[in-house]
Each structure stands twice: as C-alpha cells, then as structure tokens.
Amino acid sequence: MNRVILLTGANFRTESGWDAFAVNKNYAEAVRRTGALPVLAVDNTSADEYAALADGLILTGGKDVEPSLYGEAEPHSSVQCDPERDAMELLILRAFLNANKPVLGICRGLQLLNVFLGGTLWQHLPDDIGEHHESGTVHPVALAPDSVVGTLFGSRILVNSYHHQGVRTLGEDLRATAHAVVDREKTTVEAFEHVNGRILAVQWHPERMLGASDASIADMTPLFRHFLEMSGIC
C-alpha cells in the first residue's frame, strides 16, 4: 500500500470561469519517484482529516505570503498575495504539526513556515537588501556541516532561484542551515530546520532539480528521499 504525501497548491480561475486548484507536476513526480502517493489539498475544512490521512506535508511554491501576517501593514508594489491560500495552508500546517507529522517547505513554503513560527520576511530582496538573482538562474549556496542539507550535499552546491522574497528574522526554534553566497560572503537564508527534526525547508526549488543533467547542479532526489524517511516511508 502506498504511503501518502499531501501537497498544497495554488488557487486559480480557468478561462471558462471555473475556480480550481493546481500544483506543478514536478512536485508530484518528486514524491512518486521516492515511493509515495501525492495527494492535493483542496480545502481547509478537512485539515485534521488530511493530517490523519497523510504521512507528511509539502508546502509548495506560489504567490507571496500576506505581509500583515508578519506585522507589515504596507505591501511592496511587487507583492502578489493569495489570502485564501494563506488561510488554508496555515490551518493544514497547524494540523500536521499537532499530529507530529513532518513538513517540507519549498520556496513560498519556507516563507510560510517561517511566518507561522513567528519569523518575518524581506518583501522584495532587490530593494530591501540589494540582492537579487534573476528568475531561473543558479547561484552558490553554503551549507552547514551539521545539518540535513550539509550531510546530503556537502559544504557548497549550486541551486536555482525563483524568488524575490526571503527570511528576514527566523521563527522560533528554527536554525538556518544554508545561505546564499554573494561575493564570497554568506547572505540570505536558503534553508532551515526546526530543532525538533520535523520541519525542513529550502528556498530553492528541488522539484526542478531531480536527476539534474547539468553536473554542476545538485540532484535533489536525496532531499525528497530524506523527507520520506522523516515520514517513515523509506
């Protein structure tokens, strides 16, 4: 019997006017490759049922987290939010953590986890701290040696970049385990772990780095395999 990993997705309206949910198929493929069954969350009224059904939760990428959730009244002009998705994911996230089920945050998912645990975000990195990687480009990341990502991938890797926001202050009991490297200096947080070992998050998109054909870019299959081990699947 397949074990289950719950994926969150984006709300959108089709050209025919239908309200729908969707998730990039790369997330589902990443879960499938490592031996589990991906299931898409479609509402927040079933948060406890989702937590009972699934062995783990992946918070996927998408629009920006509503700035008011981390104490900022004025959104930057670049910010695009989905309050309905924020509300749904926060309820589901709480249910999984209450059930002691592991959570993997990816890009927006990392940011939402940080906010949920009391952290804050830079709303627009180019304006806030003068740092920006063009969408789809790769850049170096330094990994902490005593961390999940450091154990899996070594001290430094190249990762992709599809974000304009980032961690400003870390949430409670989170430990930064990877940082972007700019001009040989560590800068913004690119990954963190919770001290209880049940939360892992990365700012890059590992689902787009499975079996990477470019030898300079890390193959992220081990990251998903580790998450499934956290879920008791592997």
- Catalytic, out of 107, 124, 164, 226: 107
Amino acid 226: pLDDT? 96
Q: Which pLDDT score, from 0 to 100, does residue 78 have?
A: 84
pLDDT confidence bin for 8, thresholds 50/70/90: very high
Q: How confident is the model at residue 52 (pLDDT cuts 50, 70, 90)?
A: very high
Catalytic (active site) residue 205: yes
Q: In angstroms, rounded to a whole number, what is the distance separating the alpha carbons of residues 43 and 88?
A: 6
CB 6 within 8 A of CB 92: yes
User: What's the average model confidence in pLDDT over 98-111?
Assistant: 97
- pLDDT over 80 (residue 113): yes
pLDDT value of residue 166:
87
Contact yes or no for 166/141 (Cβ under 8 A): no
Domain residue spans of the chain: 3-230
* Mean per-residue pLDDT, 41-45: 86
pLDDT surpassing 90 at residue 116 = yes
Predicted confidence at residue 13, as pLDDT, reads 80
The catalytic position among 133, 194, 205, 226 is 205
Does 234 score more than 80 pLDDT?
A: no
Residues 6+ away with beta carbon under 8 Å from 2: 35, 36, 37
More confident residue, 155 or 78: 155
CA distances from 191 to 81, 85, 86, 104 (A): 22, 22, 21, 11
CB crowding 58-91: b at 16 or more within 10 Å, else e: bbbbbebbbbebbeeeeeeeebeebeebbebbbb
Q: pTM of the predicted model, to two decimals? A: 0.93
More confidently predicted of 69 and 34? 69
Higher-pLDDT residue of 179, 137: 179
pLDDT of amino acid 123: 85
- Which residues have C-beta within 8 Å of that of residue 202, sequence separation ≥ 6? 105, 106, 107, 110, 149, 159, 178, 190, 191, 223
pLDDT tops 80 at residue 101: yes
Mean of the per-residue pLDDT values of the chain: 89
Quickly name the fold that domain 3-230 has: Rossmann fold (3.40.50)
Given a cut of 70, whether residue 134 has pLDDT beyond it is: no
Per-residue model confidence as pLDDT tens digits over 175-216: 999 999 875 666 889 999 999 999 999 999 999 999 866 667
> Residues 186-192: contacts with CB within 8 Å, 24+ apart?
186/142, 187/129, 187/131, 188/122, 188/125, 188/129, 188/131, 190/141, 190/159, 191/110, 191/141, 191/143, 191/147, 191/149, 192/110, 192/114, 192/167
- Residue 76 binned pLDDT confidence (cut-offs 50, 70, 90): confident
Greater confidence, 114 or 81?
114
How many residues are given for the chain?
234
What's the confidence (pLDDT) of residue 73?
83
**For 141-158, how does the pLDDT look when each residue is reduced to its tens digit (9 = 90+)?**
999 999 999 999 999 999
Annotated catalytic residue 207: yes
- Segment 108-121 mean pLDDT: 97
